[in-house]
A = this chain, B = another copy of it.
Amino acid sequence: MKRVTSIDVAKRAGVSQSTVSRVFSGKSSYISEQTRTKVLRVSEELGYTPNAIARMMSSRQTNIIGIVMANITSPFYPYVLEKFLQRFQEIGRNALMFTAAPNQEIDDMLPLIFQHRVDALIITSATLSSEMAEACAKHGTPVILFNRYVTGAPASAVCADNVEGGRRIADLLLDTGHERLAYVAGSVNTSTNNDREKGYTDRLTERGYTHLQRAQANFSYETGFQAATTLLESDHAPDAIFCANDIMAIGAIDAARSLHLRVPDDVSIIGYDNIPMSAWASYNLTTFSQEVDAMIDDTLNILSNKLENPDSPPVISLVLGRLIARGSVRGVQPTDS
């Protein structure tokens, strides 16, 4: 039960504690094959494992990266998380995870996180105040926002180009001759929804389209179903609905069907995200992809850059998705993927 330390190993192996340390710290350091194996053997016998905490303490480097995820259960965050973790393990770093409780400000969590002296911090799907971003910068802790951004603050960010995506969807719907357009919004005050809506409505306006209908939902299947039902039962039912994400779009398809409307013949429905489910035969949803892998790669690149070169300025990367043409919008030729 008593913890065995490098000193115990040193004594038993008849070498100095420094030597034991060298064997385990792996780096350069020249050690004779002979003593190395001896140390290793003794460690095995004694059941010695280096104490990472002590290592952090004396090297002033934790090799820990903090991850804050606000919405773990949303469609693609688990995937993102898995990729992050795999990558971190490959480069010998560990992940300390935090989740933002409902209504909890990220700002409030930071002090706790900083106590752990993380080497860097990734925050997904949540924003921090510019003051806090300043604080992090002063602290010397690189922060990368994933799928959010703050302008003017010293924090890097990787984000889908939702504004441009919204614009392209507006173009698509107009180009294919739709005449009564609607928008099903995601949760208010999320940048995801705001940006998609802004791109969509701005472009519509630019092209002279004026009577856009709108229904509020919150990114969930149920609210998407609800919102679409309301829209489709109204007097001036739309012939095309853009839903702020795929889940709601799938809800909308089900809503249309339960009203005995055909998709896309009676109403076109387009989503956003390109989650796996949107490819399923029963939905075959036309959507606009989030290039998640590209976003993950960008994040990881920015991160290693910052880690190697702490003084490099913050980077903001906007990743544009692409149209995934399937069968739920009238008049568009399905693409292969």
Within 8 A of B (CB), among A73-92: 73, 77-79, 81-82, 85-86, 89
Give chain B nearest CB distance to A194 CB in angstroms: 25
Chain B residues, CB < 8 A from A89: 98-99, 101
Copies in the complex: 2
Minimum CB–CB distance from A253 to chain B (whole Å) comes to 8
Shortest A275–chain B CB gap in Å is 11
Which chain B positions have C-beta within 8 A of A253? Answer: 282
B57 in contact with A86 (CB, 8 Å):
no
Count of interface residues, chain A, beta-carbon cutoff 8 Å:
49
B116 touches A94 (CB 8 A): yes
Contacts of A277 in B (CB 8 A): 221, 277
28 intermolecular pairs with C-beta atoms under 8 Å apart: A1-B140, A47-B138, A49-B111, A49-B114, A51-B115, A51-B117, A52-B116, A52-B117, A53-B56, A53-B117, A64-B96, A72-B78, A72-B79, A73-B79, A77-B78, A85-B97, A85-B98, A89-B99, A94-B116, A95-B98, A221-B276, A221-B277, A253-B282, A254-B281, A257-B281, A257-B282, A277-B277, A282-B282
> Which residues in A have some Cβ–Cβ distance to B below 8 Å?
1, 47, 49-54, 56-57, 62, 64, 67, 72-73, 77-79, 81-82, 85-86, 89, 94-99, 101, 111, 114-117, 138, 140, 221, 225, 250, 253-254, 257-258, 276-277, 280-282
